[in-house]
Amino acid sequence: MEFKLDNHFLSLKADPLTRNQPRAVLQAHYSFVTPRVFEAAQIVHYSEATAALLGFSNEAIKSEVLQHLLKGQNTLGTTAYAACYGGHQFGHWAGQLGDGRAITFGQIKGKDQTYTLQFKGLGPTPYSRAGDGYAVLRSSIREYLMSEAMAYLGVPTTRALSLALSGELVTRDRLYNGNPQKEPGAIVCRIAPHFIRFGSFEIFAAREDIEHLKLLVDYTIEQYYPDLTIETNADYLLFFKAVMQKSLQTLIHWQSIGFVHGVLNTDNMSISGETIDYGPYGFLDEFDPTWTPNTTDVEHRRYCYENQPNTVLWNLYKLANALYPLVEDAKGFESILNRFKLEYELEFLKHMKLKLGCYGEHSSDEATIDELIELLRMSKADYSLFFRRLSELNANQLNLDQFRAVFYIQELDENLQHKWKIWFKNLEQRWGEQIQTDSDRQVQMKAINPRFILRNYMLEEVIQAAESGDYQLLNEFAELIKTPYEDNPKASPWIKKKPDTVGDSALSCSS
């Protein structure tokens, strides 16, 4: 069977220079690059589910041609490229960024849509800046496993096709302490409909290059928003509105399951809503709305859990500024942006009610949720374990003793215990007013409150084992992430609070 990639992104403007040296790339959407071929590369794992999305059967994925593809050794008839984009990082304009360690091979018509194949770790590009373009095993494992885990959780995300060892060592200062060490190099193949970011438009607006801005916007709409009809410049507002809606839905998913992205720069937000660029992410362990998984963010906590809605809105403002030259209608953008907060609050309320098993309308629901959030914070409750335990109970079982195992505080004071008692009583009454039986409600709640989530300490155990050549735990988690909402007995050893010895679970941006 023959496999061949397409590459319609190349219909945009190419960088006329071909040298792979870090430099400013002007009036171009991408640069042609030659990926490094690692002859000693070895495949560590691949996702059968992602391969199926591309139309690759289990038999085909084991073929010589696709085995070479998974290791980045064959572009299947296309010319590889790295994209040019900019972005705001930690609230400041960073200028040109671009694909510094990502190289795109092309598109393939998959099972349900066309997917773009992109590899990380195949060497430098003109956008590598001070980097070398290579990737290490630890960060590659984190992206590979979590992007697949998020997909099974039902969150819009890029997908991971394969994880491979490059066969070479890469030097990294892992702890930023002036003590660089050699680490195993790795290659990840990830897929998405595209890899166009907010920053892809920002770079041209910042350079006042309206011609190439318009070319990219028109291409994006034609390929990825074909239902939109652009007859006048004012119609570009429809595109912005659609991007806002997709961003909002992904944000709601994050907040609902307690996921913190950690580095929500404008260059790390896809214009079709997929979660992209898995760096210092994490799930809430003990419920602290101010927690950030990014050590670089600890001082200001710009990207902490409770700030994610504001950050996504801020990034949308920057996207609006980038698109403004095509529309020149500030009020049109403001009208769309002003709806974001209200729509977020309504959607968040809706999702939290479902997590609590509260159906229909009730005047007390918003207060119940607000009170719960405060109680979770004061009790240092494990976010995921609390909601899953709640999903398992009958109405007459609602009491504090059922939840003591999910608190990181050993003993709650009398005042806090009293508040919990009142809260449980109110929820019991709310459940009792519904037509759902306990068993029906439990089924519905379990479908949205995950039992198994891939915590940072688990990933660290995978990484430590893999760096010594042991992939048993990686294989185990690659299976467990497929059933996050099910009562899978194989996951039972991991359904527990984060161990006390683990610490904060925060990571640096380049981890």
pLDDT band at residue 88 using 50, 70 and 90 as cut-offs = very high
Compute the distance between CA of residue 246 and CA of residue 226 in angstroms, rounded to an integer. Answer: 15
Buried-state track 203-221, b at ≥16 Cβ within 10 A, e below 16: bbbbbebeebbbbbbebbb
C-alpha dist (Å) from residue 91 to 266, 302, 314, 385, 412 = 9, 9, 9, 34, 39
pLDDT band at residue 440 using 50, 70 and 90 as cut-offs = very high
Residues 232, 344, single domain; the answer is: yes
Looking up tokens 């003109």 gives 126
Residues 169, 249, single domain; the answer is: no
**427 within some domain:** no
In single-letter form, the type of residue at position 489 comes to: P
Structure tokens at 321: 């500024």
Region of residue 413 (left: phi > 0; alpha: psi -120 to 50; beta: else): beta
Residues 288, 300, single domain; the answer is: yes
Q: C-alpha angle with apex 377: 371 to 382, nearest 5 degrees?
A: 110
Select from 295, 321, 353 the last residue of a domain. 353
**Burial label, 479 (beta-carbon count in 10 A; 0-12, 13-18, 19+):** exposed
**341 within some domain:** yes
State the pLDDT at residue 272: 97
Residues 210, 190, single domain; the answer is: no
Query: Can you state the angle between helices 330-356 and 236-257, rounded to 10 degrees?
Result: 30
Select from 146, 167, 195 the last residue of a domain. 195
With 90 as the cut, is the pLDDT of residue 510 above it?
no
Range of the domain at 273: 199-353
Mean pLDDT of 24-40: 97
Residues 22, 113, single domain; the answer is: yes
Compute the distance between CA of residue 274 and CA of residue 168 in angstroms, rounded to an integer. Answer: 31
**41 within some domain:** yes
pLDDT band at residue 257 using 50, 70 and 90 as cut-offs = very high
C-alpha dist (Å) from residue 290 to 278, 406, 408, 472 = 20, 19, 16, 35
**390 within some domain:** no
Which one, of 26, 3, 4, lies nearest residue 15 by Cα? 26
**Burial label, 175 (beta-carbon count in 10 A; 0-12, 13-18, 19+):** exposed
Mean pLDDT of 93-107: 97
State the pLDDT at residue 178: 79
Looking up tokens 């998974």 gives 70
Residue-averaged pLDDT of the chain: 96
**186 within some domain:** yes
With 90 as the cut, is the pLDDT of residue 503 above it?
no
Structure tokens at 46: 């691949």
Residues 85, 212, single domain; the answer is: no
Residues 267, 327, single domain; the answer is: yes
State the pLDDT at residue 98: 98
**358 within some domain:** no
pLDDT band at residue 180 using 50, 70 and 90 as cut-offs = confident
Classified as helix, coil or strand, 331 is: helix
Q: How many domains does the chain have?
A: 2
Compute the distance between CA of residue 300 and CA of residue 297 in angstroms, rounded to an integer. Answer: 6
Residues 219, 327, single domain; the answer is: yes
With 80 as the cut, is the pLDDT of residue 413 above it?
yes
Looking up tokens 């403004």 gives 324
Compute the distance between CA of residue 67 and CA of residue 172 in angstroms, rounded to an integer. Answer: 28
Spell out the residues 6+ positions from residue 211 whose beta carbon is closer than 8 angstroms to its own: 27
pLDDT band at residue 511 using 50, 70 and 90 as cut-offs = very low
Structure tokens at 206: 């910042």
With 90 as the cut, is the pLDDT of residue 415 above it?
yes
Residues 190, 54, single domain; the answer is: yes
**408 within some domain:** no
The predicted model scores a pTM of 0.96
**156 within some domain:** yes
3-state helix, strand, coil in the chain (%, to 5): 45, 15, 40
Residues 138, 239, single domain; the answer is: no
Select from 170, 195, 220 the last residue of a domain. 195
Region of residue 245 (left: phi > 0; alpha: psi -120 to 50; beta: else): alpha
Residues 42, 177, single domain; the answer is: yes
Q: Phi and psi dihedrals of 332, rounded to 5?
A: -65, -45
Compute the distance between CA of residue 301 and CA of residue 307 in angstroms, rounded to an integer. Answer: 8
Residue pair 290/305 in contact (Cβ under 8 Å)? The answer is yes
Q: pLDDT by residue (tens digit) across 347-369?
A: 999 999 999 999 999 999 999 99
- DSSP collapsed to 3 states, 210-249: HHHHHHHHHHHHHHHCCCCCCCCHHHHHHHHHHHHHHHHH
381, containing H or E segment: none
With 90 as the cut, is the pLDDT of residue 174 above it?
no
Question: Would you name the residues annotated as active-site residues?
Answer: 267
Residues 212, 329, single domain; the answer is: yes
